[in-house]
């Protein structure tokens, strides 16, 4: 399994890229993407001249999620018998950490992505919007590309196999830790409500310190083998 290591943007030189390309093509693609595409966009977001969102879907399941707790004796937590799930397509702002999301019990489809693009444009009229997203088929398709042109939204696709460069991946992990690990929800309605309430709390700033620390703009890159 490839190792990971932090590689600051200012140290991504042409000689480093050439060396990476020879030893690990994917590492080279990630380094080039970070230095040449992502970091310039994040600089614009930090200066407020553009809105950059990291987009991804999550699929929380109403079932057992392991967690950790301090206890003198083993603690048993009830779990649901089924595997009900809610599917969420989220877009997290790189600078403000505001989260826009669409939740559904249906599959995440291209039409869901179009709905998110339309909603972002409605919320941010006249702004320059950039969406950083992976190469899922429902995102990299003609329908989504057409909607992006219609609503003047720039789609920025990550290199293949690069979840480490998608900031919202950290948020989904945080959500599972805070809402799912060690919790039992007796009904699907309670399960969905807990997730929705947590997202509302994040947007209200109730987890601001943890979110700011978690969503820092330091990315890990693959190292040359």
Domain membership flag for residue 222: no
**How far is Cα of residue 34 from the mean position of the Cα atoms in its chain?**
16
Domain membership flag for residue 17: no
Backbone φ and ψ for 84, nearest 5 degrees, come out as -65, 145
Q: How far apart are the first and last CA of the chain?
A: 9
Domain membership flag for residue 33: no
**Is the Cβ–Cβ distance between 34 and 10 less than 8 Å?**
no
In this structure, of 61-70, 135-144, 178-187, 200-209, the range with the lowest mean pLDDT score is 61-70
Domain membership flag for residue 15: no
- Does 97 score more than 70 pLDDT? yes
Q: For the chain, how many structural domains are there in total?
A: 1
In tens, the pLDDT along 12-56 reads 555 555 554 545 788 889 999 999 999 999 999 999 999 999 999
Domain extent, residue 207, equals 50-217
Domain membership flag for residue 13: no
Domain membership flag for residue 181: yes
- The percentage of residues in the chain with a pLDDT greater than 70, rounded to a whole number, is 80
Give this prediction's pTM. 0.83
CATH number at residue 88: 3.30.420.10
Domain membership flag for residue 11: no
Reduced to 3 states (helix: H, G, I; strand: E, B; else coil), residue 138 is coil
Domain membership flag for residue 224: no
Other CB atoms closer than 10 Å to residue 175's CB: what's the count? Answer: 19
In this structure, of 25-29, 145-149, 183-187, the range with the lowest mean pLDDT score is 183-187
């Amino acid at each position: 399994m490839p190792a990971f290591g932090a590689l600051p943007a200012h140290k991504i030189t042409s000689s480093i890229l050439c060396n990476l390309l020879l030893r690990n093509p994917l590492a080279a693609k990630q380094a080039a993407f970070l230095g040449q595409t992502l970091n310039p966009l994040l600089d614009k977001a930090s200066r407020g001249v553009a809105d950059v969102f990291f987009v991804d879907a999550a699929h929380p399941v109403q079932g057992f999620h392991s967690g950790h707790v301090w206890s003198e004796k083993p603690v048993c937590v009830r779990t649901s018998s089924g595997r009900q799930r809610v599917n969420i397509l989220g877009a997290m702002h790189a600078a403000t950490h505001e989260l826009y999301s669409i939740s559904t019990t249906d599959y995440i489809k291209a039409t869901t992505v179009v709905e998110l693009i339309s909603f972002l444009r409605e919320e941010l009229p006249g702004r320059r919007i950039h969406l950083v997203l992976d190469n899922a088929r429902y995102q990299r398709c003609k329908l989504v590309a057409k909607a992006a042109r219609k609503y003047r939204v720039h789609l920025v696709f990550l290199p293949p196999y690069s979840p480490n460069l998608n900031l919202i991946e950290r948020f989904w992990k945080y959500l599972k830790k805070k809402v799912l690990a060690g919790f039992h929800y007796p009904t699907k309605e309670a399960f969905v409500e807990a997730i929705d309430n947590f997202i509302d709390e994040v947007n209200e700033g109730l987890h601001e310190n943890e979110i700011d620390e978690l969503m820092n703009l330091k990315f890990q890159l693959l190292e040359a083998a």
